[in-house]
Protein backbone atom coordinates (compact mmCIF):
# COMPACT_ATOMS: atom_id res chain seq x y z
CA UNK A 1 0.00 0.00 0.00
CA UNK A 2 1.36 3.42 -0.91
CA UNK A 3 1.13 5.87 1.97
CA UNK A 4 -1.04 8.89 1.24
CA UNK A 5 1.28 11.93 1.38
CA UNK A 6 -1.59 14.34 2.06
CA UNK A 7 -2.74 12.36 5.09
CA UNK A 8 0.84 12.02 6.33
CA UNK A 9 1.23 15.80 6.18
CA UNK A 10 -2.04 16.18 8.05
CA UNK A 11 -0.87 13.72 10.72
CA UNK A 12 2.43 15.51 11.13
CA UNK A 13 0.62 18.85 11.47
CA UNK A 14 -1.70 17.40 14.15
CA UNK A 15 1.22 15.81 16.02
CA UNK A 16 3.11 19.11 15.99
CA UNK A 17 0.03 21.04 17.17
CA UNK A 18 -0.50 18.59 20.06
CA UNK A 19 3.11 18.78 21.24
CA UNK A 20 3.13 22.60 20.99
CA UNK A 21 -0.14 22.85 22.92
CA UNK A 22 1.06 20.41 25.60
CA UNK A 23 4.33 22.25 26.09
CA UNK A 24 2.71 25.68 26.13
CA UNK A 25 -0.03 24.70 28.60
CA UNK A 26 2.30 22.88 31.00
CA UNK A 27 4.82 25.76 30.94
CA UNK A 28 2.11 28.29 31.77
CA UNK A 29 -0.13 26.36 34.18
CA UNK A 30 2.01 23.62 35.65
CA UNK A 31 1.70 19.90 34.84
CA UNK A 32 -0.96 19.03 37.45
CA UNK A 33 -3.48 21.60 36.14
CA UNK A 34 -3.33 20.54 32.48
CA UNK A 35 -5.74 17.90 31.14
CA UNK A 36 -5.68 15.88 27.91
CA UNK A 37 -8.97 17.68 27.08
CA UNK A 38 -7.26 21.08 27.34
CA UNK A 39 -4.35 19.93 25.16
CA UNK A 40 -6.79 18.58 22.55
CA UNK A 41 -8.85 21.81 22.59
CA UNK A 42 -5.81 24.07 22.17
CA UNK A 43 -4.37 21.84 19.42
CA UNK A 44 -7.70 21.73 17.59
CA UNK A 45 -7.91 17.91 17.61
CA UNK A 46 -10.11 15.35 19.35
CA UNK A 47 -8.98 13.47 22.46
CA UNK A 48 -8.88 10.13 20.54
CA UNK A 49 -6.23 11.60 18.22
CA UNK A 50 -3.99 12.15 21.25
CA UNK A 51 -4.63 8.68 22.69
CA UNK A 52 -3.91 7.11 19.28
CA UNK A 53 -0.26 8.28 19.61
CA UNK A 54 0.39 8.55 23.34
CA UNK A 55 -0.72 6.47 26.31
CA UNK A 56 -0.87 9.27 28.91
CA UNK A 57 -0.45 12.98 29.60
CA UNK A 58 3.04 12.21 30.93
CA UNK A 59 4.00 10.58 27.61
CA UNK A 60 2.81 13.57 25.54
CA UNK A 61 4.62 16.03 27.79
CA UNK A 62 7.83 13.97 27.75
CA UNK A 63 7.82 14.01 23.95
CA UNK A 64 7.10 17.76 23.91
CA UNK A 65 10.02 18.26 26.29
CA UNK A 66 12.24 16.12 24.05
CA UNK A 67 11.39 18.22 21.01
CA UNK A 68 12.20 21.37 22.99
CA UNK A 69 15.56 19.94 24.11
CA UNK A 70 16.52 18.73 20.65
CA UNK A 71 19.05 15.91 20.39
CA UNK A 72 22.15 17.89 21.20
CA UNK A 73 23.55 16.58 24.49
CA UNK A 74 27.14 17.58 23.65
CA UNK A 75 29.37 18.28 26.64
CA UNK A 76 31.75 21.27 26.42
CA UNK A 77 35.41 20.44 25.87
CA UNK A 78 37.88 23.28 26.42
CA UNK A 79 40.55 20.90 27.75
CA UNK A 80 39.91 21.99 31.37
CA UNK A 81 37.60 19.43 33.02
CA UNK A 82 36.81 21.56 36.10
CA UNK A 83 35.72 24.49 33.93
CA UNK A 84 33.73 22.26 31.56
CA UNK A 85 31.86 20.52 34.41
CA UNK A 86 31.02 23.90 35.96
CA UNK A 87 29.77 25.25 32.63
CA UNK A 88 27.65 22.21 31.95
CA UNK A 89 26.20 21.85 35.45
CA UNK A 90 25.38 25.57 35.55
CA UNK A 91 23.53 25.18 32.24
CA UNK A 92 21.60 22.12 33.46
CA UNK A 93 20.54 23.80 36.72
CA UNK A 94 19.41 26.93 34.87
CA UNK A 95 17.38 24.77 32.53
CA UNK A 96 15.77 22.87 35.41
CA UNK A 97 14.90 25.91 37.48
CA UNK A 98 14.08 28.76 35.17
CA UNK A 99 14.22 27.22 31.74
CA UNK A 100 11.25 26.63 29.50
CA UNK A 101 11.29 22.91 30.30
CA UNK A 102 11.22 23.32 34.09
CA UNK A 103 7.48 22.67 34.62
CA UNK A 104 7.42 19.83 32.10
CA UNK A 105 10.41 18.14 33.72
CA UNK A 106 8.95 18.39 37.24
CA UNK A 107 5.62 17.03 36.03
CA UNK A 108 7.08 14.14 34.05
CA UNK A 109 9.37 13.09 36.89
CA UNK A 110 6.52 13.25 39.40
CA UNK A 111 4.41 10.96 37.18
CA UNK A 112 7.34 8.68 36.41
CA UNK A 113 7.69 7.75 40.11
CA UNK A 114 4.51 5.73 39.68
CA UNK A 115 4.74 4.93 35.94
CA UNK A 116 7.67 2.66 35.02
CA UNK A 117 7.05 2.94 31.25
CA UNK A 118 7.31 6.73 31.45
CA UNK A 119 10.50 6.46 33.53
CA UNK A 120 11.97 4.06 30.94
CA UNK A 121 11.15 6.48 28.11
CA UNK A 122 12.68 9.42 30.03
CA UNK A 123 15.85 7.44 30.69
CA UNK A 124 16.21 6.25 27.06
CA UNK A 125 15.53 9.58 25.38
CA UNK A 126 17.11 12.10 27.77
CA UNK A 127 19.05 10.69 30.69
CA UNK A 128 21.14 7.99 29.03
CA UNK A 129 22.28 10.12 26.05
CA UNK A 130 23.32 12.88 28.52
CA UNK A 131 25.21 10.40 30.70
CA UNK A 132 27.00 8.97 27.64
CA UNK A 133 28.19 12.46 26.62
CA UNK A 134 29.36 13.22 30.15
CA UNK A 135 31.22 9.91 30.45
CA UNK A 136 32.99 10.49 27.15
CA UNK A 137 34.23 13.87 28.43
CA UNK A 138 35.31 12.36 31.78
CA UNK A 139 37.13 9.55 29.95
CA UNK A 140 39.16 12.10 28.02
CA UNK A 141 39.96 13.94 31.28
CA UNK A 142 41.14 10.66 32.82
CA UNK A 143 43.30 10.05 29.74
CA UNK A 144 44.72 13.59 30.11
CA UNK A 145 45.64 12.86 33.74
CA UNK A 146 43.16 15.44 35.11
CA UNK A 147 41.06 12.84 36.93
CA UNK A 148 42.13 9.72 38.82
CA UNK A 149 41.86 6.49 36.88
CA UNK A 150 40.80 4.25 39.80
CA UNK A 151 37.22 5.61 40.12
CA UNK A 152 34.94 4.43 37.27
CA UNK A 153 33.60 7.31 35.18
CA UNK A 154 30.00 6.16 35.63
CA UNK A 155 30.45 6.66 39.37
CA UNK A 156 31.93 10.12 38.69
CA UNK A 157 28.85 11.07 36.64
CA UNK A 158 26.66 10.17 39.62
CA UNK A 159 28.80 12.18 42.02
CA UNK A 160 28.69 15.31 39.82
CA UNK A 161 25.02 15.15 38.82
CA UNK A 162 23.41 13.70 41.95
CA UNK A 163 23.41 16.93 44.02
CA UNK A 164 21.44 18.86 41.37
CA UNK A 165 18.66 16.32 41.15
CA UNK A 166 18.65 15.56 44.89
CA UNK A 167 18.23 19.25 45.71
CA UNK A 168 15.66 19.68 42.95
CA UNK A 169 13.50 16.65 43.84
CA UNK A 170 13.67 17.07 47.59
CA UNK A 171 12.55 20.70 47.52
CA UNK A 172 15.73 22.50 48.60
CA UNK A 173 14.65 25.55 46.58
CA UNK A 174 15.97 27.30 43.49
CA UNK A 175 19.01 28.92 45.13
CA UNK A 176 20.30 25.62 46.47
CA UNK A 177 19.76 23.95 43.09
CA UNK A 178 21.59 26.78 41.35
CA UNK A 179 24.51 26.47 43.78
CA UNK A 180 24.94 22.78 42.84
CA UNK A 181 27.57 23.93 40.38
CA UNK A 182 29.68 25.07 43.37
CA UNK A 183 29.88 21.45 44.50
CA UNK A 184 31.91 20.52 41.42
CA UNK A 185 34.98 21.79 43.27
CA UNK A 186 34.20 19.74 46.39
CA UNK A 187 33.67 16.56 44.40
CA UNK A 188 36.83 17.21 42.37
CA UNK A 189 38.83 17.32 45.63
CA UNK A 190 38.49 13.57 45.74
CA UNK A 191 38.66 12.81 42.04
CA UNK A 192 41.85 14.61 41.13
CA UNK A 193 44.99 12.49 41.10
CA UNK A 194 46.71 12.46 44.50
CA UNK A 195 49.99 13.56 42.93
CA UNK A 196 48.41 16.97 42.28
CA UNK A 197 47.45 17.31 45.92
CA UNK A 198 50.81 18.71 47.01
Residues near a second copy, by CB under 8 A = 30-32, 106-107, 109-116, 119-120, 122-123, 127, 151, 155, 158-159, 161-163, 165-167, 169-171, 183, 186-191, 194, 197-198
Q: Around Cβ 8, how many Cβ atoms within 10 Å? A: 10
Report H helices in the chain: 5-29, 36-43, 47-53, 57-69, 81-97, 102-112, 116-122, 128-143, 153-169, 174-178, 183-191
Judged by beta carbon, residue 9 or residue 162, the one nearer a second copy is 162
Judged by beta carbon, residue 7 or residue 114, the one nearer a second copy is 114
Judged by beta carbon, residue 106 or residue 135, the one nearer a second copy is 106
User: Which residues lie closer than 8 Å to 149 by C-beta, 6 or more apart?
Assistant: 142
CB of 111 to a second copy, least distance (A): 7
Q: Are 22 and 60 in contact (CB under 8 A)?
A: yes
Q: Are 174 and 130 in contact (CB under 8 A)?
A: no
Judged by beta carbon, residue 13 or residue 91, the one nearer a second copy is 91
Amino acid sequence: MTPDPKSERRSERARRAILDAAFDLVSRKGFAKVTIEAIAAQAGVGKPTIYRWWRSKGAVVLEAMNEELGDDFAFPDTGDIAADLTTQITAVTQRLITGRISEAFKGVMGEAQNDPALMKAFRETILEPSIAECRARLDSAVAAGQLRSDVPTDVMVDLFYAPIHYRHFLGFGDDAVRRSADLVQDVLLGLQPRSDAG
